[in-house]
Chains A and B, each alone.
Chain A
Amino acid sequence: SKPLDPFLGIAPQDVKYFKTHDVIRCRDGSANFIKDQLNDDFCDCPDGTDEPGTSACPRGKFYCQNAGHAPVYLFSSRVNDGICDCCDGSDEYDGQEKCLNTCWEAGKVARDKLRKKIATYQEGVKLRKQEIEQAKLSMEKDGAELSKLKNEESILKGVVKQLKDHKEQIEKIEEKERLQKEKEEKEKKEAEEKASEKTIKVDEEDTKHEDEAETDSHSEDNTVASNHDKIEVQEDSLVQEDEAGEKLADTLDNSVEVTDAPGSEGSLLNQVEENAKEAEREPAVESEIDLTTGKTESSSEVINTGRDVSENTDGLSKEELGRLIASRWVKEDVVKEDVGARSAEADTALDNEYQEDIAHGTTNGESEGYASETDDENNKYDEDVNDDEFHDDENDDLSSSYKSDIETEPDLSDFSTTEDPSWLEKIQKSVWNIFQSVNIFQTPVNQSDAARIHKEYDESSTKLSKIQSRISSLTQKQKLDFGPAKEFYSFYGRCFESKQNKYTYKVCPYKQATQEEGHSTTRLGGWDKFEDSHKVMVFSSGDKCWNGPDRSLKVKLKCGLSNEITDVDEPSRCEYVALLATPALCQEEKLKELQQKLDLLNSEQPGSHDEL
């Protein structure tokens, strides 16, 4: 039906368009219509120009004034449909439905809400500024540290090189001495040889031993030597490393003089094993999960393949069979029940994997890609010092090491920023002293001198590798996207938690997001990127879902006064969405927008309602 007001549904600023001429053009230019055809409840313009106030044009828009509240454009299909859409009721005029004017009440609620939002923004904008300031300082600090470390690295490299040369020199002499000694003994034995035939045999065996020893010690040299360069060396195959490790262990077994030989041997082997394990860990855990949670799948697949296994199903109790069939439709849930204890195992396995990750992360620092290789080398070869540290880390309280993520970076406190800055000079000095006091060409080698050089060498190279690890971690960090104003800098190394029913969600920006239930942890995703102009954080490639995609999480950001996760949801299976309130999103431009909006609302109020 036609409206009484011929200009119904037209915004005030547009009325002119319709009043000026007797023949009006459709806005899309497709046709013309005469004044009588305006709002005559028949669609003449495909774009709806001629029917702003009726439902005749499917693509039309109806404007409600909504005095006292915000004006709104409706789809024209809402006109006279029996539902009050405009708070002023102007969309229902055919007499089928009586609509009350609720704009004043609705407007007040909306304005109050807007005011609250503005207040939040006002406070939030300040916090955001502080964050940005802080970030600027911290980044400068990082930069300064980095350049300092780089400087130290180059000096230390020189020192280590010198020490290495000395060490090798001493070792050469030692070797010479040993050979000399052996030769002498041999001659001595030869003199005694004639005594009996038995002795000959023994001697032959001895010789054999010696040959072996020679090769071994030689190989040790190689290993150690290559170790020095390891940091630059990109990839050695695991097998090679293993071989090297074993050889070294053998050498140590033959009790060549190396300090703390027994200890390092043990740890070395452990290390090698550990590394090997770690390499295998991921696939191993995966297959374990397959076995446990995948019980149903495997058995049902088996049914598929033939009689043998259909006997398996036949062996099932009625209840098991019921669960099995049900599980095809609802894989995960039923499987969990189904396997019971076994799934707990899987959980533990997952936990282990996760702990492993943490331990790994602890030694390796933040970024996996780069640090793992170099640091692995360090773990393997810098036996004494590093080894201790490694164990320490393992013994660390996992949860705390997880939460205070930032502290799990390589600990350089003993020789970097906090301590006496002259540590490097000290090293240089003591090394100088050694060089001064030790005559490396002296024969026989002074045992205590040799030990000093070994010790100095080990310590220095350990420190060097630590510095290098820290450098790489800082470099990685600098590459991260902290937002256009670095407003997300403080998210680095932090985690935000939220408990929703039985689950605890942990969102660690730049790292990962998890869902924890009791002791079981599910990875919702690793850090991926920001999206939607830094309004969304994306975590992707999380744990695989049964019959579904890999888990993923999108964290939508909104302005709030503290960093707080306010909601976690799974709108689509295994695709999670969380809401994070943070000052980082309290942008000044947005505040201005909101204020303008409020001003507009206030200005449009009928009468003079003084609300402020």
Chain B
Amino acid sequence: WKKEEFRNCNQTPFCKRARSRTPGSSDLIATHVAITDGDLTANLIPKSQSESNPKPLILTLSVFQDGILRLKIDEDPSLNPPKKRFQVPDVVVSQFSDTKLWLQRLTSEDDGLSYAVYLSDGYSAVLRHDPFELFIRDDNSGDRVISFNSHGLFDFEHLREKNEDENWEETFRSHTDKRPYGPQSISFDVSFYDADFVYGIPERATSLALKPTRGPNVEESEPYRLFNLDVFEYIHESPFGLYGSIPFMLSHGKARGTSGFFWLNAAEMQIDVLAPGWDAESGISLPSSQNRIDTMWMSEAGVVDAFFFVGPRPKDVLRQYAAVTGPSALPQMFAVAYHQCRWNYRDEEDVENVDAKFDEYDIPYDILWLDIEHTNGKRYFTWDRVLFPNPEEMQRKLAAKGRHMVTIVDPHIKRDDNFHLHKEASEKGYYVKDSSGNDFDGWCWPGSSSYADTLSPEIRSWWADKFSYQSYVGSTPSLYIWNDMNEPSVFNGPEVTMPRDALHYGGVEHRELHNAYGYYFHMATAEGLVRRGEGKDRPFVLSRALFAGSQRYGAVWTGDNTADWDQLRVSVPMVLTLGLTGMSFAGADVGGFFGNPETELLVRWYQLGAFYPFFRAHAHHDTKRREPWLFGERNTGLIRDAIHVRYALLPYFYTLFREANTTGVPVARPIWMEFPSDEATFSNDEAFMVGNSILVQGIYTERAKHASVYLPGKQSWYDLRTGTVYKGGVTHKLEVTEESIPAFQRGGTILPRKDRFRRSSTQMTNDPFTLVIALNSSQAAEGELYIDDGSSFGFLEGAFIHRRFIFANGKLTSVDLAPTSGGNVSHRSDVVIERIILLGHTPGSKNALIEPSNQKVDIELGPLWVQRERSPVFMTIRKPNVRVAEDWTIKIL
């Protein structure tokens, strides 16, 4: 972490200016308020007509289904501004516009200063014209939900011609930004009402609940920064922005629930969370009956294109956000399993040995990764033919065991005239240009490099074609892709990235789209894999940079973390925050990228990482080898067990990924998402929920003997490992062993498992299921299971099985959740349930009756985990062997 190499707010003129503004300094009023084409439109002009010919800003307010409000503010294009301001394309999903509600009428409010429009049942959007302010109102209570410019901090710097005595250049360290268009920043305040905490705006290493950055009684800090950067050895606690940016914030409070605000803007952004009382001297009064969190948003360029989500439950906001940016893609089954990575598995022999060792030690894994050293001189799509003479053969050997491989493809292209990719890209003019219009030339792994301009759809299409088997020589159908360095990382650029005055397709300045550069690259790569598989094979692409919408293209991880306990700890809020902002498929490098973890830390990391949505071990190439079998029999066993837990739970994880795919609700969730009115959970980021059924608490200290775990709700919790019952709504001081971290199944849920551990998930396809039924106080429970072929897009046409299992009144029923009509394809499966374990059931029953087959089966005491010695035993229905694809009931006799 080299603090001096990065700009702080004070060194960033737009941020410094915005932060020094005082409440009420905006004097804009809204005029010409009207309904036009189903939108509310208005002009924003300064109230004090000091300028003789003020240029108005054009405001457009649109309403969409499910309580989504979109606000756009831009310059008036008819007044010929010097340049069209950048609006981020291809992030809002195309279906979203279909959900627009055509506004019919404008209601004038009683105060005579405001107009209201319908937003959704029980909510209105209210525009006050003097001074300009916008808020959402709960019509039943009259309370505010969320508001814009209530503190009069809105500022919009119009593009203009340069005065002769002006110098717009900005210099940071040795870099000069020419800034040919001068100041064009935008800033405003947003207030969240009935909010106890705000969350979101990744990516950074900090707490889940965002701490105030300014205001009385808080330690003044930098604003939260959103600027995608390749940060060397980032620290575990900082408001500083890392590899990705999602300008989406959620608020949550006990009194009302959840709301959200998303600003679609890809320029550098800085956000202050203001502590109560920060505006004590402003003289602006807002409803004091509601808890409020005020925030200040500042961006270097772009337009206002903001979305307000009314919630009110946490999952509602996730669904509303997913309606705008899309839900996360459903990954292939293998991608949900365990990934083995290292910078670098050196050659084919190394790959073969590592692969063989996993089998020797009976540890499952699905994907082996190759980092940059596998290429010929960091030319992606090529192989170092000395180290990897037969890449196809190598991949086929892995594929024969159902395993996959991932190779790295970064956006920097080596400037080597003999490299076909470079030759083609430069001839076609497909590179990002520098400020003088030449191909931008920056330094990265291969040395002098240029960067494909994937903002352009044409260039994305060209890039996507590079993944065809013909073009990517040595690739096979079991090979998938990793995009690294796509912030973009430019070693000799300002703040290790591309200069802001570099030019993209359509004359867009890099400053305007910086945070979305990696997103477009990720998109193009994923598209390449879809094309390669002729639309039949779901892509897997891991990206380091990310932006709103990245969830549609693949997985992300938290970048180059470090092997220490603090970073293990912070990985949880980082992954949870990504999930809250739509990026469900996220994880941190297990073991820590930099440095050598002590064995205990590595084991603890595996135990926690097994519950990350994306579960990959990775290590820097200067670190000691740390494959699971290198730390003695005992530790190998512990790591194997952690990985086994993940494989056992794959059916559950996969079902959760499908849920994320249809609802936007993340796989890993803050506890408050499941227990929205339990205040004790609001700032808990040491523990989290996997789906609605499992609560996990990491162990973040050495030689921990005890852990305090808060188990929310009224129902009991069952230790995942031992089945021991714990009361809900209590903080338990638990003994901790090295064997596992605390993890619990919530009473009232049913977990689907697969307890046979194969070499990889591929061989588990036909294995039977185990159901673990954890009963609640009414001796009832529910759970879901989603199954498809694990790889194709057939599920989109209905080729899947989706069951709900309901246990009540001593009877387990399997109900079809798949829509009966619709798809003409179906997913066939003969897979059966071999074991049903009942936790919390009164003992005594000896038999169960299966209907409709009218067959009796035994009930006996069986182990909770068959693979473990001395596993506690519970009431187990032995070999019901009912098919998961069918309807049935099992009645306990």
Contact = CB atoms under 8 A, between A and B. Distances in A.
A322 B879 contact: no
Contacts of B644: 58
Residue in B232, B758, B863 with the greatest tally of chain A CB atoms within 10 Å: B758
Contact of B622 (A47, A322, A548): A548
A546 interface: yes
A57 B622 contact: no
Residue in A78, A547, A572 with the greatest tally of chain B CB atoms within 10 Å: A572
A58 B253 CA distance: 46
A265 interface: no
A326 B445 contact: yes
B5 interface: yes
B173 A325 contact: no
Contact of A322 (B174, B362, B447): B447
B341 to A, nearest CB: 15
Interface residues of B, number: 49
Interface in B396-447: 400-402, 442-445, 447
Interface in B827-842: 834-835
B866 A83 contact: no
B731 interface: no
B57 to A, nearest CB: 39
Interface string A314-350: 1110111111111011110000000000000000000
A548 B619 CA distance: 13
Contact of A58 (B444, B757, B834): B757
Given A77-B362, A326-B444, A42 B755 contact: no
A313 B493 CA distance: 12
A446 B445 CA distance: 82
A58 B767 contact: no
A495 B407 CA distance: 41
A547 B622 contact: yes
Given A304-B2, A572-B624, A322 B763 contact: no
Contact of B2 (A42, A46, A303, A575): A303
A575 B532 CA distance: 40
Interface stretch (B567-575, B668-676, B867-875): B867-875
B492 A43 contact: no
A55 B767 contact: yes
Interface in B850-893: 863, 866-871, 878-879
B105 interface: no
Residue in A55, A303, A314, A329 with the greatest tally of chain B CB atoms within 10 Å: A329
B448 interface: yes
B852 to A, nearest CB: 23
A78 B760 CA distance: 11
B491 A326 contact: yes
B351 to A, nearest CB: 13
B492 A545 contact: no
Contacts of A325: 232, 443, 491-492, 496
Contacts of B866: 43, 46, 57-59
Given A321-B491, A322-B492, A545-B622, A310 B4 contact: yes
A571 B345 CA distance: 9
B173 A314 contact: yes
Interface residues of A, number: 51
A319 B492 contact: yes
Contacts of A316: 174
Contact of B621 (A314, A320, A330): A330
B763 A82 contact: yes
A325 B175 CA distance: 15
B625 A571 contact: yes
B759 interface: yes
A568 interface: no
A83 B755 contact: no
Contacts of B758: 55, 77, 81
Contact of A572 (B401, B442, B443, B625): B625
B624 A322 contact: no
B4 A321 contact: no
B756 interface: yes
Nearest to B3: A304
B442 A322 contact: yes
A573 interface: yes
Interface string B749-781: 000000111110001001100000000000000
A46 B869 contact: yes
B623 interface: yes
B152 to A, nearest CB: 38
A304 B1 CA distance: 9
A75 interface: yes
Nearest to A572: B625
A324 B490 CA distance: 12
Given A77-B756, A83-B401, A303-B4, A573 B362 contact: no
A96 B491 CA distance: 52
Nearest to A327: B491
A549 interface: yes
Nearest to A309: B4
A573 B622 contact: yes
B72 to A, nearest CB: 39
A56 interface: yes
Nearest to A43: B866
A323 B491 contact: yes
Contacts of A575: 624-625
A117 B42 CA distance: 90
B180 to A, nearest CB: 21
A355 interface: no
A329 B867 contact: no
A49 to B, nearest CB: 12
A300 interface: yes
Interface string B486-517: 00001110001000000000000000000000
Contacts of A58: 644, 755-757, 866-867
A96 B401 CA distance: 15
A59 B756 CA distance: 10
B354 to A, nearest CB: 10
A173 to B, nearest CB: 71
A303 B621 CA distance: 25
A227 to B, nearest CB: 50
A47 B871 CA distance: 11
Contacts of A82: 402, 763
Contacts of A331: 622
A304 to B, nearest CB: 6
Nearest to A320: B492
B392 to A, nearest CB: 19
Given A59-B867, A304-B4, A573 B621 contact: yes
Contacts of A57: 866-867
Nearest to B347: A569
Contact of B362 (A75, A313, A321, A324): A75
A329 B622 CA distance: 9
Nearest to A570: B346
A83 B758 CA distance: 11
A251 B250 CA distance: 90
A77 B648 CA distance: 13
10 contacts: A56-B756, A77-B759, A82-B402, A304-B3, A319-B448, A323-B443, A545-B622, A572-B624, A573-B624, A575-B625
Given A41-B834, A83-B400, 16 more contacts: A28-B869, A30-B870, A57-B867, A58-B756, A58-B866, A77-B759, A83-B402, A314-B173, A319-B447, A322-B443, A322-B492, A323-B491, A572-B623, A572-B624, A573-B623, A575-B624
The 8 closest A-B pairs by CB, nearest first: A322-B443, A58-B867, A322-B492, A314-B174, A325-B491, A321-B492, A81-B763, A572-B625
